[in-house]
Chains A and B, each alone.
Chain A
């Protein structure tokens, strides 16, 4: 019963220009404390939208959400915000264009009133493999991978119990990707961080997560264990297709 995240019957409908579109349709799952849960699925299947609903960045029209046993809606207090942090999919949009790396990392500490910013910022940068010379650069002076590391450092600096990771390593090269994944694994071991990881890369998800949800057109097709995903034994034809497609791609590349 130690569910850190509990999502039941979650539905998100976007309405723009009078047309409504159901991006997430009655999705239910739960993530235990300290567990790493993966979400895979094709582009547009609603993976990011689920994370945003859990984070309180988009409203959900139906269903219920519980974080650490507390029911959560869209509006949240500063205290409730301490429960989770988010690493965004697009490293180019997730940093304020007129703020240095230092300011981006100082802001969360200032908001939550945490002392000792100097040392914490330096440590957070080192943790994600950024050098001191990057500290006072503006985002336009950083590569995509460096920006993504800043975004990860910004999420980690508050030591949240829950981390929502939306393709955190897609902008990084393979060696850095491994470094970041190991870092996340270390944090999980040290702090018992609960995480949801969204990725296109089935191998990454199967490596990092214990259980994986497969999404298609806003619906959850099935949840299966990482072993099953690696072995390619899935109940649903769609999942087998996805696995086969990713293998074919891996061999072809």
Chain B
């Protein structure tokens, strides 16, 4: 057989309607999802922004040409954007470009840590509640209701105030107030899925409750949780920035976007760039997660596949 060019082979392998292994089937599915995202301009923009955030965070030292985000230079304070300081300098003469870069690390840390707490907690509570029903459902859902009744920023403020300011405590505070909607979503989905014939089929095969939950129900609830998490990420970033702005998040001199906006607000009329640059970063990243979330929702929507 005359071999077509290599990328051709690849695409055929991924798009095959009769895959020869589970690996190929899963890769093919992921590929179709990726193509769907790329074909959707808004989702692609979101994907690029989030990828840029990742790149900024991972390669911050490289992209900053080795400059230190904490290095002060009082002779150069409050300088407007120029060739030597692309985004200007702040009130202590620190380079804002470098600080925005390193701030991406803080933001990404918050995003990752909150996701690591919220998704598993919400999934665990929600799927148990939805699948088992009865007393367990009632108890878990009342607990969820209690957490749901607190306004997020106020509870986060209370936690930050009680546990002391700092990025870890900000993450704990945000995560504790963010999980209940996930439990609600997962519960509703798990309750529907629990009624379906394919779950009855594994029950009849003798599967344990743990196996049914972990192998059959959780994977199906995962996609809506991921979509919701991506859409919520903007709110989480804004809450983190809000806590930073109020001095209850990351502590100085850490480069954190919310705290940077806060420090620039006294000089906002004369030296607009100090608050504006990190503000733009917050805005763009929040927007990126929202666009990506919308795209993922379209891709995961079973009606479209």
Residues of A within 8 A of B (CB): 52, 55-57, 77-79, 81-82, 84-86, 88, 90, 93-98, 100, 102-103, 107-108, 111-112, 133-134, 136-138, 140-141, 151, 154, 158
Contact B205 A111 (CB under 8 A): yes
Q: 11 A-B contacts, Cβ less than 8 Å apart?
A: A81-B204, A81-B206, A86-B200, A86-B204, A88-B197, A97-B198, A97-B220, A100-B25, A107-B215, A136-B21, A136-B22
CB distance from A57 to the nearest CB of B (A): 5
Contact A100 B206 (CB under 8 A): no
If A97-B302, A133-B18, A140-B305 touch, does A111 touch B202 (CB 8 Å cutoff)?
Answer: yes
CB distance from B213 to the nearest CB of A (A): 13
A-contacting residues, B1-51, CB 8 Å? 17-22, 24-25, 29
B77 at the interface (CB under 8 A from A): no
CB distance from B197 to the nearest CB of A (A): 4
CB distance from B68 to the nearest CB of A (A): 48
Chain B contact patch, size range: 20 to 34
CB distance from B216 to the nearest CB of A (A): 6
Q: Which among B201, B208, B219, B220 has the greatest number of chain A C-beta atoms within 10 A?
A: B201
CB distance from A128 to the nearest CB of B (A): 15
Chain B contact residues: over half helix, strand or loop, or mixed? Answer: helix
Q: Which residues does chain A contribute within 8 Å of B18, judged by CB atoms?
A: 133-134, 136-137
B203 at the interface (CB under 8 A from A): yes
If A84-B204, A88-B201 touch, does A93 touch B196 (CB 8 Å cutoff)?
Answer: yes
Question: How many angstroms between the C-alpha atoms of A133 and B22 in the bound complex?
Answer: 12
Question: How many angstroms between the C-alpha atoms of A138 and B18 in the bound complex?
Answer: 10
CB distance from B196 to the nearest CB of A (A): 5
Contact B22 A102 (CB under 8 A): yes
Question: How many angstroms between the C-alpha atoms of A78 and B208 in the bound complex?
Answer: 8
If A138-B25, A141-B17 touch, does A85 touch B197 (CB 8 Å cutoff)?
Answer: no
If A98-B220, A137-B18 touch, does A90 touch B201 (CB 8 Å cutoff)?
Answer: no
B207 at the interface (CB under 8 A from A): yes
Contact A55 B204 (CB under 8 A): yes
Contact B207 A111 (CB under 8 A): yes
B265 at the interface (CB under 8 A from A): no
Cβ-closest chain A residue relative to B29: A138
Q: Which residues does chain A contribute within 8 Å of B215, judged by CB atoms?
A: 107
Q: Which residues does chain A contribute within 8 Å of B197, judged by CB atoms?
A: 88, 90, 93-94
Q: Which residues does chain A contribute within 8 Å of B302, judged by CB atoms?
A: 97
CB distance from B36 to the nearest CB of A (A): 14
Q: Which residues does chain A contribute within 8 Å of B201, judged by CB atoms?
A: 86, 88, 94, 151, 154
Question: How many angstroms between the C-alpha atoms of A140 and B302 in the bound complex?
Answer: 10
CB distance from B298 to the nearest CB of A (A): 16
Question: How many angstroms between the C-alpha atoms of A133 and B17 in the bound complex?
Answer: 8
Question: How many angstroms between the C-alpha atoms of A248 and B24 in the bound complex?
Answer: 50
Question: How many angstroms between the C-alpha atoms of A100 and B220 in the bound complex?
Answer: 14
CB distance from B122 to the nearest CB of A (A): 19
CB distance from B33 to the nearest CB of A (A): 12
Contact B24 A136 (CB under 8 A): yes
Q: Which residues does chain A contribute within 8 Å of B204, judged by CB atoms?
A: 55-57, 81, 84-86
Q: Which residues does chain B contribute within 8 Å of A81, judged by CB atoms?
A: 203-206
Cβ-closest chain A residue relative to B196: A93
Question: How many angstroms between the C-alpha atoms of A55 and B211 in the bound complex?
Answer: 20
Q: Which residues does chain A contribute within 8 Å of B216, judged by CB atoms?
A: 96
Contact of A112 (CB < 8 Å), options: B20, B203, B206, B305 = B206
Cβ-closest chain B residue relative to A97: B302
Given contacts A111-B211, A112-B205, 16 further A-B contacts (CB under 8 A): A52-B200, A57-B200, A57-B204, A78-B206, A81-B204, A86-B200, A88-B200, A88-B201, A93-B196, A93-B197, A112-B206, A136-B19, A136-B20, A136-B24, A137-B18, A151-B201
CB distance from B84 to the nearest CB of A (A): 54
Q: Which residues does chain A contribute within 8 Å of B196, judged by CB atoms?
A: 93
Question: How many angstroms between the C-alpha atoms of A133 and B20 in the bound complex?
Answer: 7
Question: How many angstroms between the C-alpha atoms of A133 and B24 in the bound complex?
Answer: 12
CB distance from B172 to the nearest CB of A (A): 33
Contact A137 B25 (CB under 8 A): yes
Question: How many angstroms between the C-alpha atoms of A228 and B196 in the bound complex?
Answer: 37
If A136-B24, A137-B25, A138-B29 touch, does A111 touch B206 (CB 8 Å cutoff)?
Answer: yes
CB distance from B285 to the nearest CB of A (A): 30
Q: Which residues does chain B contribute within 8 Å of A134, judged by CB atoms?
A: 18
Q: Which residues does chain A contribute within 8 Å of B17, judged by CB atoms?
A: 137, 141
CB distance from B136 to the nearest CB of A (A): 16
A-contacting residues, B39-95, CB 8 Å? none
